[in-house]
Structure 1
Amino acid sequence: MKLNQNSYLKQGGKAKLSSILLLLLVLSASWLLWSGLYKPLLIGLGAFSCLLSTYLAHRMGFFRHHKALLRLIPRLPRYWWWLLREIVISTIDVAKIILSPSLPISPTVVELEAETKTDVGHVILGNSITLSPGTVTLDLHKGKILIHCLTVESARELQKGEANRRAAALERK
């Protein structure tokens, strides 16, 4: 299959200047607040990284999905609290496994049908699964997610579908 370079270069799609500037402003403010270092060299490097990130976001087509992302913002804090709780629970479970002399692991790969309908929803679900210790999203293709789990129990938890339902709920209007 031959890749048409012109279509590849245009994949970024159209983006409003205001959207690009807003992303640049958010990245810059975040960098300044989290850095805490205000030396000229570091500010220059931070500015460069923010500009590069904005450019790459445009090239990767981020602005094609920015309306979907804006719709999610009001629902994200609740989702983040739930995800944080799941990460803590998973961290404790993985720590228990590692500290156990018998190291009771049972590596398992499961495939889930994503309830999310958009690319943004699929990415949020896949990243949420990967953020939880003991699970890694291996592949995401046509709404199917392939996940490696450290134990059969964690695979069963994923198959119950709570993460899937919560990620899908983010997309609902």
Structure 2
Amino acid sequence: MLKYTVSLAVIMAIIWLLFSGMWTHPIIVPLGAASVLLTVYLATRMKIIDREGHPLHLLVPSLKYWPWLLMEISKSNLIVARHVLAGKNSINPRMARVKASQKTALGRTIFANSITLTPGTVTVHVRDNEIWFYALTEEIEQGLKDGEMDRRATEFEGES
């Protein structure tokens, strides 16, 4: 519990410093530190600092997953653009479902959000080990049904 609390405080302080750009201001910096400490205190009181709420164990696997997902987002952007430029007859919207092999709610959330981040798809329902999604075309639907994103999200999750 202590490692999650300390890492949350450090990460929030770094993000605050990077986003604010205030490194030496005599009033803003102490107020930023106070806001970080207050947030960590409230998160501790609410008992939301845990393995799932602050997933440090996903830091290393994310270095492999996020670049792959960014590449998939780029490829899907090109597919959607091609279909849009081809005209309305090229687009054939549909609802579909795919099995989710992740063991935890966090893993299924990662998978569902990855689907939604990919252009041409939107996750509409998650239930147990099944995800319902909207796909702009059959090509995009089949791209999800091939199981690669599910496999990589499960690998990213790291649960056995």
TM-score range for the pair, normalised by the shorter chain length: 0.7 to 0.9
Which one-letter code corresponds to 2:150 in the other structure? N
Alignment of 1:47-62 (within 5 A): 48=35, 51-52=38-39, 55=42, 59=46, 61=48
Task: Answer yes or no: is the 8 Å Cα contact 1:24–1:54 preserved in 2.
Answer: no
Alignment partners' CA distance in 1, 2:77 and 2:145: 19
- The answer to which of 48-57 and 153-162 deviates more is 48-57
1:118 to 98, 104, 115: 104
TM-score normalized with structure 1 length: 0.73
Q: How does 1:1-173 map to 2 (within 5 A)?
A: 16-36=1-21, 44=31, 48=35, 51-52=38-39, 55=42, 59=46, 61=48, 63-65=50-52, 69-102=55-88, 104-170=90-156, 171-172=158-159
User: Is the 1:24–1:51 contact (alpha carbons within 8 Å) kept by the matching residues of 2?
Assistant: no
CA distance in 2, matches of 1:54, 1:148: 40
Higher alpha-carbon deviation: 123-132 or 33-42 = 33-42
8 Å contact kept, 2:22–2:28 = no
**For 2:153 and 2:29, how far apart are their aligned partners in 1?**
37
Distance in 1 separating the partners of 2:150 and 2:15: 29
| TM-score, normalised relative to structure 2 | 0.78
The aligned amino acid for 2:50 is F
Stretch moving more, 52-61 or 116-125: 52-61
Post-superposition Cα deviations, 1:52-99, rounded to whole Å, max 9, x if no partner, equal 5884697484515258x3333222111111101001001111222233
Specify the code of the residue in structure 2 equivalent to 1:26: I
Structure 2 vs 1, CA of residues 22 and 107 (structure 1 numbering), >3 Å: closer, same or farther?
Answer: same
Matched letter for residue 123 of structure 2: T
8 Å CA contact retained: 2:124, 2:132: yes
Q: Secondary structure at the match of 2:6?
A: helix
* Two-structure CA RMSD over aligned residues (Å): 3.1
Residue 130 of structure 1 and its aligned partner are, at CA, apart by 1.0
Residue identity in the other structure for 2:141: A
Q: Structure 1 vs Structure 2: percent identity of aligned residues? A: 32
Contact 1:130 1:137 in 2 (8 A): yes
Aligned mates of 2:122, 2:78 — CA distance in 1 = 17
Q: Does the 8 Å contact 1:114/1:122 carry over to 2?
A: yes
